[in-house]
Chains A and B, each alone.
Chain A
Amino acid sequence: MLVRLATEACGTRFELVLDGEDEPRARAAGEAALELVERCDQRFSVFRSDSLIARVNREAAERPVRLDPETYALLERCSALQRATSAAFDIAVGPLMRTFGFRRRVDEQRESEARGTFELDERTRAVRFTSRNTALDLGSVAKGYALELAARSLRDNGIACALVHGGTSSVVALGAPPGESGWRVQLGRESGAFVTLRDTALSFSAPRGRTVEFAGHEVGHIFDPRSGKPVPLEMQCAVVGASALDCDAWSTAALVLASRDVSWSALLPRELAFWVRGPSGDAQILGPCSVFESLSPRSSTPR
């Protein structure tokens, strides 16, 4: 029996479809998974005053903020991803989000200072900022992380067949629907391209997903953290891999790397598959994974 559940979190809608013989049990497993998603929202939302990240952003420039082990581990992962992506992915992108108007501005004086970064202290399990103009924004990975937790919870509760997505841009597939080889997912509304997912995650990033008007120009929500420049609006990237968080981070990073005028494909991890559409509209597939072999335009409506 198919069970559908949804919740609002991380500024978007999370939805899951799962298959289970015992409907009350399947529903309970789905609710437990979505509860973890809601808990991520409580901890990592920049829109809530009582979230852990809001607390960090308020206090970490003044003193180290002690974190729970899970959050500390997440920030360590983000730090490692920042190094691996040559700083194309960076969660200390909060000030840029404020500058361009994607987040509410808080303090003009603080925002006029040089942008800082965050430092982790393993001994005290604490985070501190290097300047007052520092703010963490987990928007690029919070959905992926929440989906990882949700998928693990579903597996732990015996669910072998499910599809969970956050805002349709981050997806995790468990198993396959009955009689199918996997969950067939369309990449973007207009691409006409599909991938089939089975026990894998997918992340799709596009600057045009959220835009604002800035200095007379339309600007997307993805920036190069190093230069502070927005990524061209026409670009798109899809990443498929085992970890939803890694896919989220790399789908953002690949767009930034591709927008830089340097060679970047050597940086990409081998275990992930990339589909990148550049500013001119040309798409390229990178990585050894064969998942995008089935990628071809179709006119039919996706499931």
Chain B
Amino acid sequence: MTSSDRRQFLRSTAGGTAAMFFAPSFELLHPRSGAAAPISVAVVGAGRQGRAILGELSTLADAQVLAVCDTDDARLQSAVRKAQGLKGYATHKELLEREPGIAGIVIATPTHLHKQVALDALAAGKHVYCETPLAHTIEDCAAIAAAAKGSGKVFAAGFQGRANPVYSLARSFFKSGQLRQLSHLRAQDHKKTSWRTPGSTPERDRELNWHLDPAVSLGLAGEKGAHQLDVFHYFLGRYPTLVRGTGDLRLHKDGRELADVIALELGFDDGLRAHYSCTLASSYDGRYELLAGEMAAIKLAWTHGWMFKEADAPTQGWEVYANRQKFHNDEGITLIAEATKLAAQGKLTEGVGLPYSSLYYSLANFVSACLENKAPACSASEAARTTIVAIHADRAVRSKSEIAIPPELLESV
């Protein structure tokens, strides 16, 4: 065997063997339903997230965006101009009245406005994709979950970890017992930003910066933390029963009341603890989730994932050829999506991260659920349960105290 042949063999072997453990299916990575006609959708809310959603939807072959809606005329016109050919509406009610042919509604409004749009869309017989957290109150969460259950329509919630192929892959590892006894969970979101959106008038400024308004915002614990806490719920299949929180205003002393640095400790009924920190004052170490166990730890960062094995963990044959990345004193095996196909094409090193954004997979999952009439990756009930945990976490941060999360409350949605 020549050295070149050997390299090729090792490359193929690495990909092929690793794929037994690492590779999600091609269909999962490149979601397409094969449907003859795309599903028609409209997006309600043309803010930051709404614009990102419009961008991703426009690259999906199975979706056709027909309309967009926003109460702010400048934002609406900007979205209509950029997306070319979209119809624009000022309110979701007008949209639902005048576009009866639209099959799906994507909700990207501020959290506290989700409920009415969701209930009206379901009542009009539309499939719904709703951004998360699902709502800002437990009552609204329950109302949305109940309406979704009885609608006979697809209701997908935007906790993106559940539709992310790297996360699914890592979860299959987790479920197969690779970590053995769980030690602890940790997640963080660190980014230096004021978290403000500039408005043209003081009144508009208040509306746009609803997430800084203590009356309607779930703060960092809810608006940001919910997405990462949901990853733990997705992996574990269970929820914490208590949360201790704290928070302070460290950097952005610009008149806001909500903390810009928070820390959470969440307790599960078996004594397992999850720690979460979120700050708007420092970008150091970014955003990730970590599940640490007796034999290995899994670190997830949306488009990337790694597994760190203990020295005494059993070694699998494929590990010899797996891609690795150094993190100070630790070395992580990269969780490579689609390893078999990439190895066959000689692109294994190109494919270390996901080929699409996490949002893309979430929206693609919604579209395929609608076209194939199947359950979405994240249901209204699952989103409601995580949101209720996040609501309790926000209360714990504001009161700097420990709060119980009644299991029966989570079971009720």
Contact = CB atoms under 8 A, between A and B. Distances in A.
A46 B246 CA distance: 41
A59 B205 CA distance: 43
Interface string B172-197: 00000000000000000000011011
A125 B84 CA distance: 11
Nearest to B357: A50
A203 to B, nearest CB: 25
B198 A70 contact: no
B255 interface: yes
A48 B353 contact: yes
Tier of interface size on chain A? 20 to 34
A28 B355 contact: no
A48 B353 CA distance: 8
Contact of B198 (A29, A42, A58): A29
B407 interface: no
A42 B357 contact: yes
Interface in B52-106: 52, 54-56, 58-61, 74, 82-84
A32 B198 contact: yes
A69 B80 CA distance: 11
Given A66-B59, A158-B198, A24 B255 contact: yes
A54 interface: yes
Contacts of B60: 66
B197 A28 contact: yes
Interface string A225-265: 00000000000000000000000000000000000000000
A25 interface: yes
Given A32-B198, A70-B55, A24 B254 contact: yes
A291 to B, nearest CB: 31
A55 interface: yes
Nearest to A68: B58
Interface stretch (B115-123, B310-318, B342-350): B342-350
A207 to B, nearest CB: 27
Nearest to B61: A66
Majority secondary structure, A binding face: helix
Contact of B197 (A32, A42, A48, A52): A32
Interface in B331-364: 345-347, 349-357
Majority secondary structure, B binding face: loop
B200 interface: yes
Tier of interface size on chain B? 35 or more
A157 interface: yes
Interface in B252-266: 252, 254-255
B252 to A, nearest CB: 8
A58 B350 contact: yes
B40 interface: no
A23 interface: yes
Given A24-B255, A50-B303, A69 B83 contact: yes
Nearest to A26: B198
Nearest to A64: B61
Interface in A15-33: 23-25, 27-29, 31-32
A69 B353 contact: no
A1 interface: no
Q: Which of B55, B82, B354 gathers the greatest number of chain A CB atoms within 10 Å?
A: B55
B200 to A, nearest CB: 7
Contact of B346 (A35, A48, A55, A106): A106
Contacts of B198: 25, 28-29, 32, 157-158
Contacts of B58: 66-69, 125
Interface string B346-389: 11011111111100000000000000000000000000000000
Contacts of B353: 48-50
Interface string B292-332: 00000000000100000000000000000000000000000
A106 B350 CA distance: 8
Nearest to B54: A68
B197 A23 contact: no
Contacts of A28: 194, 196-198
A107 interface: yes
Nearest to B253: A24
Contacts of A39: 52
A68 B363 CA distance: 15
Interface of A: 23-25, 27-29, 31-32, 35, 39, 42, 48-50, 52, 54-55, 58, 66-70, 104, 106-107, 109, 125, 156-158
Interface of B: 48, 52, 54-56, 58-61, 74, 82-84, 193-194, 196-200, 205, 252, 254-255, 303, 345-347, 349-357
Given A28-B196, A50-B356, A68-B54, 11 more contacts: A31-B194, A39-B52, A42-B357, A49-B352, A52-B59, A67-B58, A67-B59, A69-B83, A70-B82, A109-B346, A125-B58
6 contacts: A24-B254, A25-B199, A42-B357, A50-B303, A50-B354, A69-B84
Please list the 3 inter-chain residue pairs (A to B) with the smallest Cβ-Cβ separation, ordered nearest first.
A49-B353, A28-B196, A24-B254
